[in-house]
Chain A
Amino acid sequence: MSEPILENIRTRRVVREMTDEPVAREQIETILEAARWAPSGGNLRPNRYIVIQNPETRRLIRLVSPGMFQKAPALILICTNGDVLAEHSLPPTDRALLIDIGTAAQTIMLAAHALGLASGPVTSYSKEAVKVILNLPESYSPEMFICIGHKANTTKRGMTAWKKTSWRDLTHWERFPDA
């Protein structure tokens, strides 16, 4: 596969061990600019992003995030802004909201990878504790952290290789036959 975007998609992996090396501000801005182009249901764009680099804030976030194994130098928190939902009379359970978080998350991770940075998503944290630590506005719901940094030179915390499932195993073509 030589097409660079396909190659980028294929080679991105979640990284759970990162070095202390900071991430340059311009790189974070490039990533956020990429996220802005992610598709959004109804083009409502309910996502808001919070960037956290302060070491003490990151430490506290990690303490209430059992699924955050990385000590990442930068965190991007994807939030849903409830005010946007209210404007359009959408319930917080609208499934487009979750999909919007997904399109943004993958865009952020691929953009980071394209810049030679490591990334890892985290949803295993206490939302209530994160709201308190970040003093989030009432309307913001913290949906997913993306840890950004540089990959540490270790095999620690590597996942076992994903079973060699091909796209064929995951795909069905056309209508299912009658039983």
Chain B
Amino acid sequence: MSENWVLKEDEAIELLALLITSARIQMEEPAHYGPLRLLTATERLSSAIIERASEKSRDFLQANIERIPDMHMQMSDTDAYAAGLDELCRRVAETLLRHSPLPEDDS
């Protein structure tokens, strides 16, 4: 576990603005824009917290900042997009394990 504070109040409010306005505009936009908005939030949150984050998270956050801008502009290739998202899911799971290591199975 890391218990660092990584986000300032202004940064948190900015993220809330993105999430709330995304929820609203998504009602009128194509369904595949949903992942785009969530990825935009991921990129912005990663940028906001990377400086104060611990070593355990830093590579993961850096990868989000570098990869997402290219990834989410290439939505038209659905297979490549899904593969990119799967890669992010693997990396977030690895990061979770780094923060909360699970006990070895000793059965």
A64 touches B17 (CB 8 A): yes
A156 touches B29 (CB 8 A): no
Contacts of A157 in B (CB 8 A): 69-70, 73
Chain B CB within 10 Å, residue with most, of A16, A66, A156, A157: A66
| A124 CB–B CB distance under 8 Å | yes
| B40 CB–A CB distance under 8 Å | yes
Which A residues between 113 and 129 are near B, CB-CB below 8 angstroms?
124-126, 128-129
A126 touches B18 (CB 8 A): no
Q: Return B46 CB to nearest CB of chain A, in Å.
A: 15
Q: Return B41 CB to nearest CB of chain A, in Å.
A: 8
Which B residues between 59 and 100 are near A, CB-CB below 8 angstroms?
69-70, 73-74, 76-77
| A41 CB–B CB distance under 8 Å | no
Q: Contact mask A41-76 → B, CB, 8 Å, 1/0?
A: 000000000000000000000011111010000000
Which B residues between 7 and 25 are near A, CB-CB below 8 angstroms?
14, 17-18, 20-22, 24-25
For this complex, into which size category does the number of interface residues on chain B fall? 10 to 19
Contacts of A179 in B (CB 8 A): none
| A89 CB–B CB distance under 8 Å | no
Q: Return A98 CB to nearest CB of chain B, in Å.
A: 13
B14 touches A63 (CB 8 A): yes
Compute how far the CA of A16 lies from the CA of B22 in the bound complex, rounded to whole angstroms.
18
B21 touches A66 (CB 8 A): yes
Chain A CB within 10 Å, residue with most, of B25, B33, B37, B40: B25
> Main SS of chain B's interface residues?
helix
Chain A residue nearest to B66 in the complex (CB): A156
Q: Contact mask A154-170 → B, CB, 8 Å, 1/0?
A: 00111110000000000
Contacts of A64 in B (CB 8 A): 17, 21
Contacts of B18 in A (CB 8 A): 63, 66
B74 touches A129 (CB 8 A): no
Q: Return B40 CB to nearest CB of chain A, in Å.
A: 6
B73 touches A129 (CB 8 A): no
A129 touches B76 (CB 8 A): no
Compute how far the CA of A65 lies from the CA of B44 in the bound complex, rounded to whole angstroms.
13
Residues of A within 8 A of B (CB): 16, 63-67, 69, 124-126, 128-129, 156-160
Q: List 23 A-B contacts (CB under 8 A).
A: A16-B73, A63-B17, A63-B18, A64-B17, A66-B18, A66-B22, A66-B37, A66-B40, A67-B25, A69-B69, A124-B29, A125-B21, A125-B25, A126-B24, A126-B25, A128-B24, A156-B70, A157-B69, A157-B70, A158-B70, A158-B73, A160-B74, A160-B76
